[in-house]
Structure 1
Amino acid sequence: MNDTKSLPELPDHLSGNPRSPFHVAEIFEHDIGIRLNGKERNDVEEYCISEGWVKVASAKALDRRGQPLLIKMKGTVEAFYK
């Protein structure tokens, strides 16, 4: 089991994209999980707990830079270490 005292605190807003100002590299050294409305999701690219949303990549649509478009889903968001 992980020692939670040595783990950094999960931020309110976190992004998996290294170019984002909300990306924190130390967090991604550990396994984290996201629950949206009580259901665990594995496809979350970005989340905000206080505003209650997650962003997931669309299946086929790309933006003009070739990155997948992100779809915002709203609900109760919980972030945790696995």
Structure 2
Amino acid sequence: MTDTPQKPELPDHLSSDARSPHHVAAVFEHDIGIRLNEKELFNVEEYCVSEGWVKVPAGKTRDRKGNPLLIKLKGKVEAFYK
């Protein structure tokens, strides 16, 4: 018997920021991927499938607290495990 750990279901809204209420640490124990309009993105900080948007860093720009400034891109969002 192989004992493979169950992967948690991917939420509709997920953030990589641990301070966010949409952060689910159990999901980040596995590799996940995000597609926006059939193109895979590798720098997504936050996404929402039902509303159809992702947030990605805007270059090297930082806010006054040192966090990257994020821009919102809209389209068809798909989240999946790799």
TM-score normalised by L of structure 1:
0.92
1:73 maps to 73
Deviates further, 53-62 or 22-31: 53-62
Unaligned stretches of 5+ residues in structure 2 = none
Matched, 1:25 2:22: no
Unaligned stretches of 5+ residues in structure 1 = none
Q: How does 1:1-80 map to 2 (within 5 A)?
A: 6-80=6-80
TM-superposed CA distance for 1:11, in Å, is 0.1
Aligned amino acid, residue 15 of structure 1: S
TM-score normalised by L of structure 2:
0.92
In structure 2, how many angstroms separate the alpha carbons of the residues matched to 1:76 and 1:70? 18
Deviates further, 18-27 or 57-66: 57-66
Could you report, residue by residue, the CA deviation over 1:48-74 in whole angstroms, capped at 9, with x for unpaired residues? 000000000111221111111000000
Could you report, residue by residue, the CA deviation over 1:9-59 in whole angstroms, capped at 9, with x for unpaired residues? 000000000011100000000000000000011010000000000000111
Residues matched between the structures, number: 79
